[in-house]
């Protein structure tokens, strides 16, 4: 509550009741009339449930400064939400994730910032707090899949690779063959994320399990061994052998020595 004073006449002109210390902007046609109806129901007494109903989302500090006693737990950081609004946001989040997956089948989920914009939320922490099983948050994206689902065309292409190279585990399809199969960079990326292919370098992919199989083969060689010996033992090309050995080095399965020979230092997984 407040008083209206005339400082020149030292006169109190009247009293007022502040109904909303922080009114929302009026952006749409009819917003002023709708806002008037809301204000007509207020009596000026701070009310947490009522403020959250009107604002949908609010920071605890802002509510406290307005004289509202904050007793509800925040949904994320210091953000509080009207329970019904929060429930609706969860439903919309699932719908947006499903729609994005349909529109972008090769991407590993929806970027959090895209969801923040689509849900008109002020903070990405609110998006992250809305994620509930079966949705998952990984690497800044929200996905509804377990990570092993591939679009049908990509799954068919991977099956062709498996059929053609299953008995030649260290032979990689040439770039033109990958293109013939419809496996471009985005499709390969999706297959790698799903664990259906192992990427050694650009346009150099093997079937999953190749690393463990390679360690088994290399462990049978006299130690240390050369690149040439590894290439022959694996029955592969230099195009595959070089990035394969480099990946094994990074994984700690082999160690590169000063003379460029290598030795197996870890058993296959």
pLDDT in tens, 4-44: 666 766 666 665 555 555 666 666 677 677 656 666 565 55
Write out 200-268 in H/E/C secondary structure: EECCEEECCCHHHHHHHHHHCCCCCECHHHHHHHHCCCHHHHHHHHHHHHHHCCEEECCCCCEEECCCC
Give domain 152-264's CATH architecture.
Orthogonal Bundle (1.10)
Alpha helices in 41-184 (DSSP H): 48-55, 60-65, 83-103, 112-118, 124-130, 152-165, 175-180
pTM score, two decimals?
Answer: 0.57
Question: What pLDDT digit, counting tens, does each position of 196-254 carry?
Answer: 899 999 999 999 989 999 999 999 999 999 999 999 999 999 999 999 999 999 999 99
Coil/strand/helix, residue 35: helix
Domain ranges (residues) in the chain? 43-147, 152-264
């Amino acid at each position: 509550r407040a008083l209206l004073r005339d400082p020149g006449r030292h006169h109190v002109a009247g009293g007022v009741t502040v109904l909303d210390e922080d009114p929302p902007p009026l952006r749409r046609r009819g917003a002023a009339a709708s806002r008037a109806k809301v204000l007509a129901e207020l009596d000026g007494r701070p009310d947490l449930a009522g403020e959250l109903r009107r604002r949908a989302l609010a920071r605890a500090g802002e509510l406290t400064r307005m004289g509202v006693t904050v007793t509800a737990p925040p949904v994320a950081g210091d953000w509080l939400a009207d329970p019904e609004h929060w429930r609706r946001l969860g439903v919309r989040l699932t719908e947006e994730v499903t729609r994005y997956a349909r529109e972008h089948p090769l991407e590993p989920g929806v970027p959090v910032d895209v969801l923040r914009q689509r849900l008109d939320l002020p903070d990405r922490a609110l998006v992250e707090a809305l994620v509930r099983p079966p949705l998952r948050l990984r690497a800044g994206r929200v996905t509804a899949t377990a990570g092993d689902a591939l679009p049908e065309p990509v799954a068919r292409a991977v099956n062709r690779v498996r059929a053609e190279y299953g008995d030649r585990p260290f032979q990689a399809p040439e770039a033109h063959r990958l293109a013939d199969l419809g496996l471009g960079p985005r499709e390969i990326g999706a297959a790698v994320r799903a664990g259906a292919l192992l990427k050694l370098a650009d346009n150099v992919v093997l079937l999953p399990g190749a690393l463990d199989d390679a360690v088994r083969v290399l462990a049978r060689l006299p130690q240390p061994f050369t690149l040439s010996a590894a290439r022959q033992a694996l029955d592969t090309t230099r195009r595959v052998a070089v990035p394969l050995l480099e990946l094994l080095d990074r994984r700690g399965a082999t160690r590169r020595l000063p003379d460029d020979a290598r030795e197996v230092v870890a058993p296959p997984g």
